[in-house]
Structure 1
Amino acid sequence: MTPWAVLVLAVGTYALRMAGPLSHGRFEPSERARRMLTVSATVLLFALVATSAVADGQSLAGWARPAGVLVGGALALRRAPFLAAVVAAAATTAVLRWFGVS
């Protein structure tokens, strides 16, 4: 990457990060817009988790990883501690891989 491209990206990043604090108090989104932003953030996070759980580059990740993610997600829905959900998800994936499930 050329130094000019790095400079342009750095200036753009700085401008975007400063836009929030500079516009604070000058712009008040509607209640519907706030709700849509909350829902869109949740949907985006779910899509990232689903894509990471199912795909491994250009191929499918197998069955062990999605099973681990499902176990972790189920524990998170039941309000289990974060560390317990992560350990259970990793253990599920590890045990399934140990038994030959890819």
Structure 2
Amino acid sequence: MTASPVLLAVSIVVLAAATFAFRFAGPALRSRITFPPRVTKLLETSSVVLLAALVVTSGLMEDGVLAGVARPAGVLVGGVLAWHKAPFAVSVVGAAGTAAVLRLFGIP
């Protein structure tokens, strides 16, 4: 089953408009809506938890099972480099390089 070009174009336009509206709503409503300090703290914490869950699921899993040793080792190296405030490019190259070297030596 393939999508028609019109459906695809309409979907792209609707998603683009919704994304723009969502991103515009933050600055536009910031001064009008106030949250209690407890809710603000909960929202800040939930964003960190969501990001950590994304890193774990995409960095350590492949097709629902553990990805082996090379990928988690690369994620670990990238995380340590980022924690030590290395530039983003250095963290990415370090993580990719670690995984590549381990795979070169036959470690899955």
Question: TM-score by structure 2 length?
Answer: 0.75
Structure 1 residues 62 and 33: alpha-carbon distance in aligned structure 2, compared to 1, 3 A threshold:
same
1:8-42 deviation line (CA, Å, top 9, x unaligned): 87887676556545533221012221111111101
Aligned twin of 1:56: 62
CA RMSD of aligned residues (A): 2.3
- Number of aligned residue pairs: 101
The code of the aligned residue for 1:77 comes to W
Structure 1: runs of 5+ lacking an equivalent: none
The code of the aligned residue for 2:88 comes to F
Does residue 77 of structure 1 match 2:83?
Answer: yes
Aligned twin of 2:43: 37
Counting only pairs closer than 5 Å after superposition, residues 19-34 of structure 1 correspond to structure 2 as 19-20=25-26, 23-34=29-40
- Matched residue SS, 1:33: helix
Question: TM-score by structure 1 length?
Answer: 0.78
Structure 2: runs of 5+ lacking an equivalent: none
Aligned twin of 2:104: 98
Q: 2:72 aligns with which of 57, 66, 74?
A: 66
- Matched residue SS, 1:88: helix
Alpha-carbon distance between aligned partners in 2 of 1:65 and 1:49, rounded to the nearest angstrom: 11
- Sequence identity, in percent? 50
What displacement does 1:57 show? 1.5
Alpha-carbon distance between aligned partners in 2 of 1:34 and 1:90, rounded to the nearest angstrom: 36
